[in-house]
Amino acid sequence: MSLKRFLIGEPLETAREKQERLNKVMGLAVFSSDALSSVAYGPEEIFFALVLGGTALLSYSIPVAIAIVVLVLIVASSYYQTIHAYPSGGGAYVVAKDNLGTRPGVVAGAALLIDYVLTVAVSICSGIAAITSAFPGLYRHRVLLCVIAIVLLTLVNLRGVRESGKLFSIPVYIFIASMFLLVGLGLVKIFSGQAPGPAAAAQQSSLVQIFPLFILLRAFASGCATLTGIEAISNGVTAFRPPESRNAGITLIYMALILAALALGITFVSYHFGALPAKNETMLSQIARMIFSVGPIYYVIQFSTAFILILAVNTSFAGFPRLSSIMASDGFLPRQLANLGDRLVFSNGILILGAIASLLVIIFRGNTHALIPLYAVGVFLGFTLSQAGMVRRWFSLKGAGWRRNALINGIGACSTLVVLIVITFEKFTRGAWMVVFAIPVLVWMSLRVKRHYLSVSRQLVIQPDYHETEFKHHSVIVPVSGVQMAVINAIKYAKALSNDVAAVYISLNPAEEAQMRADWEKYGMGVPLKILESPYRSITRPLLDYVDQVREKYPDGIITVLLPEFVPSKWWQHLLHNQTAFIIRGFLHFKPGVVIISVPLHLQK
């Protein structure tokens, strides 16, 4: 417990929940870091797709970026409506479930949960790539660095929302300032004729001559990774200080304007400075080096980029636990995900997110380009369902301004649907098929969880004849492996519970069996000893068979199995002893009509 307190801090009272909420400044840092950080890799993905057709196609990078920026503004406007319509948060999941039905809602929730996990993996890998660009010697350690970063951010988020907001605000705003400085000075050099100019046009590949539109669509789909994270604010409206909707909406506007300006500006500067995708250096690093040389400002840009890309996962660490807690409260995910931890955060969701993201990083070897094809499918599915649900809501309510609102959400739904189709088609064979497969699997699992909880609720309802079904007999069984104080302690307790007590010994060695008979005759306190043979050296099978025999003898009775245990004074000392009682408890737990009780004997130091 002392280690836990050192890592995540002292518990917070429930009454302090509102004091832990975020203002707009910290809210922008916590919920917008994912979207804003995408300018570090979104424009590069556009170039990465276009350069496959030859550098002559790079001139289309700016029109593609403009199309993406227009889509950013449309989606942001649509989510602004969602925030005010659903101030309790939940985003696409709540909107789709409320207006389109349970299954679309679960689909939206599953898609966003998967995208949050991918956001952590992609952002961490991209952030570490920025560091290895500045220090190439670290490249071979990139996977280890990624996992370490995820572990550290998991611990920070376990400390609480406000504390993580304080920690992350400074790096986020340094990044924003450094990016505007980069774009601003880059534009000055371009319009003053000091820029190197676009990359020299090479002969187009045969692929471009056959499928020119395919290349452009691929560039657009890859660049749409810039939109990921826009929905996070609508999922976490309740994390803002009152008035929640107003503060969340203003933060969303700030985020959208900054994102649009930087995405378009970085693409424009990258094209006119002739930057091209490279294996060991990001395009952002290239243009920063060309504008500022390798000096203090260059390293500020690289480190601030690395920090925000790593800290961008905080958007997921804020959004994933909140969304999973809402779905868990509705019964579609395990109930444990709805529980607040010591620091008033959903600790279980944070831990699960960190574990799955670390596994993804290890599987894909920390390669950003390998993870990007999996990215954005889920988020655009969530976008589409959310906006379609809002259209349905406006047509149902028909309040003031409903036509204007329906038009905004309708344009958003159509736009994101087109992007979803393009992304899925273009990225399917490059890895997106895994996400397309994973979403239905998660939806199926969520519906099974819901069905289980409904079944449990029905069976736990008090039956009319509950008072007529009293137990007719009480049998107590005490598994023993020898004669010692923990066993004597359990026998005393067993005799206080019932007159029908039996000790059960599993015989694995004839010599030990004879000694056991002698010791029991002396110390058994008159309790009969049942010796069960086990030719295959199994402890659990003979015991389970004996329990079944007692059940057949007393079908209307109850059976209590007492497990004698000794408890060492130090936690690590448990590792030095057999966990037989734990194993037996695990098997007996699924036996109907059997109660398992541990009888501990606490040892001294």
Q: What one-character-per-residue DSSP string does 22-62 give?
A: B-HHHHHHHHHHHHHHGGGTHHHHHHHHHGGG-GGGGGGHH
Short-list 526, 489, 482, CA closest to 504: 482
> What average pLDDT does the segment 8-20 reach?
63
How far is residue 551's CA from residue 560's CA, in Å, rounded to a whole number? 11
Query: 265: helix, coil or strand?
Result: helix
- Residue 10: other Cβ atoms inside 10 A: 7
- Confidence check: pLDDT of 573 > 80: no
- How many secondary structure helices (H) and strands (E) does the chain include? 24, 5
Query: Cβ(61)–Cβ(53) under 8 Å?
Result: no
Alpha helical stretches, state H, 192-312: 206-210, 212-223, 232-235, 244-272, 283-292, 296-311
Distance of CA 381 to the CA centre of its chain: 17
- Residue 268: other Cβ atoms inside 10 A: 19
Please give the DSSP secondary-structure letter assigned to residue 598: E
* Cα distances (Å, whole numbers) of residue 138 to 74, 128, 135, 280, 284: 40, 9, 6, 11, 18
- Confidence check: pLDDT of 314 > 80: no
Q: Token pair of 279, please? A: 């294996």
Specify the amino acid at residue 557: G
Domains, the chain:
2-453 (1.20.1740.10), 469-602 (3.40.50.620)
How far is residue 368's CA from residue 125's CA, in Å, rounded to a whole number? 6
Give the model's pLDDT for residue 589.
87
Query: 339: helix, coil or strand?
Result: coil
**How is 492-557 classified by DSSP, letter by letter?**
HHHHHH-SEEEEEEEES-HHHHHHHHHHHHHHSTT--EEEEE-TT--SHHHHHHHHHHHHHH-TTS
Crossing angle for the helix pair 142-158 and 102-134, to the nearest 10 degrees:
120
Q: Is the dihedral of CA 99, 101, 102, 105 positive or negative?
A: negative
Specify the amino acid at residue 241: R
Query: Cβ(19)–Cβ(168) under 8 Å?
Result: no
The band of 20, judged by pLDDT with boundaries at 50, 70 and 90, is low
Instruction: Return the H-helix or E-strand segment holding 413.
Output: helix 402-427
- Confidence check: pLDDT of 472 > 80: yes
Specify the amino acid at residue 473: H
> What average pLDDT does the segment 274-286 reach?
85
Which range among 164-168, 430-434, 446-450 shows the weakest confidence by mean pLDDT?
164-168
Highest mean pLDDT pick, 109-123, 172-186, 338-352: 172-186
Do you know the residue count of the chain? 605
Kindly calculate the radius of gyration of the chain based on its CA atoms and give it in whole angstroms.
31
Give the model's pLDDT for residue 8.
67
Query: Cβ(412)–Cβ(75) under 8 Å?
Result: yes
Short-list 237, 343, 370, CA closest to 5: 343
- Residue 359: other Cβ atoms inside 10 A: 14
Backbone angles phi and psi of 279, in degrees to 5: -70, -45
Give the model's pLDDT for residue 213.
74
- Residues 6 or more apart whose CB falls under 8 angstroms from that of 136 comprise 280
Give the model's pLDDT for residue 11.
64
Give the model's pLDDT for residue 332.
95
> What average pLDDT does the segment 203-222 reach?
67
How far is residue 63's CA from residue 216's CA, in Å, rounded to a whole number? 10
Q: Token pair of 278, please? A: 């490279």
- Token pair 């636990």 is found at 321
Averaged pLDDT score across all residues of the chain: 84
Short-list 524, 112, 148, 89, CA closest to 349: 112
- Token pair 């107590």 is found at 476
Give the model's pLDDT for residue 162.
64
Query: Cβ(72)–Cβ(226) under 8 Å?
Result: yes
Give the model's pLDDT for residue 3.
66
How far is residue 406's CA from residue 419's CA, in Å, rounded to a whole number? 20
How far is residue 365's CA from residue 350's CA, in Å, rounded to a whole number? 22
List of long-range contacts for 11-16, beta carbons under 8 Å, 24+ apart: 11/342, 11/343, 12/160, 12/342, 12/343, 12/344, 14/340, 14/344, 16/344
- Burial (CB < 10 A; 0-12, 13-18, 19+), residue 125, is buried
Q: Token pair of 83, please? A: 């925030």
> What average pLDDT does the segment 346-360 reach?
91
Crossing angle for the helix pair 42-50 and 283-292, to the nearest 10 degrees:
100
How far is residue 437's CA from residue 358's CA, in Å, rounded to a whole number? 21
Short-list 449, 204, 419, CA closest to 336: 449
- Confidence check: pLDDT of 285 > 60: yes
- Residue 40: other Cβ atoms inside 10 A: 28
Query: Cβ(541)–Cβ(534) under 8 Å?
Result: yes
Which range among 150-164, 390-404, 410-424 shows the weakest confidence by mean pLDDT?
150-164
Query: Cβ(269)–Cβ(187) under 8 Å?
Result: yes
Phi-psi region of 147 (alpha: psi -120 to 50; beta: other; left: phi over 0): alpha
Which range among 398-412, 475-489, 512-526 shows the weakest confidence by mean pLDDT?
398-412
Please give the DSSP secondary-structure letter assigned to residue 11: -
Give the model's pLDDT for residue 10.
67
